[in-house]
Amino acid sequence: MNAASSYRWPAYARRWSEAEVGRDVELARQAFRRRRLGEPLARYLEAYDQRAGTVEQVLAGLQPMLQSSASAQAHWSSLWSQELGRDTFRYLGAPPISEDDLNTLAQARCSGAVVQDPEAFGRLMEVMRAILDPRRFPWVAEGRTPSAAELGAAVLSTTTLMASQRVQTLRRSDEKAMVEGSVRGLLIGLGWEEATRPAQGVRNLLNDAPAPRTFLTQVNLGADNADVLIRLDDGRLLAIECKGSNSEINSRKRLNKEAAQNARAWLAQFGDQVVPAVALQGVFRDRYVLEAQDTPLVVFWGHRLEDLRNFVCPA
């Protein structure tokens, strides 16, 4: 049973049927395809070119750096002090390692300052030696100098990995930013005003919530962030999370974990004075959308925001 199934469906909100959700999922997917096919190749090429030089520098001195030789210390320090340099080292792994995982395995915060701590630096080197990709960098384990072809192939594959991931990250943030901007634009077009968010967030609905016909963006409601927080005419707060997804698998994380978890927390703390909602854009699985409604979460779609307009300004 859904952990929040005891909460009532919000008054005056539209709950979509399975057939309606299926149609909207397909419409959102078609719109996503059009945006993706229209995406310029320049975005990937720019990400590649921004990273290629740093990757070449790292790989040119990879072996002595991993052996922690004194001659490589200055080279290492210079590269590790740059964000792109630190990213490059993470992408030497098989597979690439996240920043959080690297911090955990090295038992240190692997920021630019870690090279000033000999013990933390030593642990970091141990992790890098353990995770190094033997297919891309065979010369390291064999203790020899790489051939020009090996070095070129390693630079190409590593830079491609980094650039591809960067574009994927930008795509996800693009979808979210687009739907969030559309929601904000709709409200302003309706004559609503964006208020200054309280520094402490909205902890008490009586004292902290926005005034009628105003809204807040990127504000904590209780302990969890709401992308858009709207004061409805009936006094309730509509808390919208704007979610973009580029795959069905990703949609489950964005919708059924992140958004649903926040919705349950808001309902537990504030009850039916808060209406949890999502505004969706991109690729979502219909089953996950239906499950989200059980939280309950009111669902709006980026391709049809007139539903949001009708909810906040009923005839």
Looking up residue 294, the CATH number of its domain turns out to be 3.40.1350
Is residue 29 located within the same domain as residue 80? no
| Signed CA dihedral, 219, 225, 228, 234: sign only | negative
Is residue 181 located within the same domain as residue 302? yes
Residue type, 304: R
Q: How far apart are CA 291 and CA 304, in angstroms?
A: 20
Q: How far apart are CA 83 and CA 205, in angstroms?
A: 41
Domain-terminating residue out of 167, 184, 211: 167
- Average pLDDT score over the chain: 91
pLDDT at residue number 161? 96
CA end-to-end distance (rounded Å), the chain: 36
pLDDT at residue number 4? 43
**Using 50, 70 and 90 to split pLDDT, how confident is the model at 149?**
very high
**Of 101, 259, 279, whose CA–CA distance to 181 is shortest?**
279
For residue 215 the two structure tokens come to: 């809204």
Specify the number of domains making up the chain: 2
pLDDT at residue number 68? 64
Domain-terminating residue out of 119, 136, 167: 167
pLDDT at residue 229 greater than cutoff 80: yes
In a domain, 93, yes or no: yes
What integer is the mean pLDDT of 52-71? Answer: 83
Is pTM beyond 0.85? Reply is no
Is residue 153 located within the same domain as residue 204? no
Tens digits of per-residue pLDDT, 269-293?
Answer: 999 999 999 999 999 999 999 999 9
Range of the domain at 207: 18-38+172-312
Is residue 229 located within the same domain as residue 305? yes
In a domain, 227, yes or no: yes
Residue type, 224: D
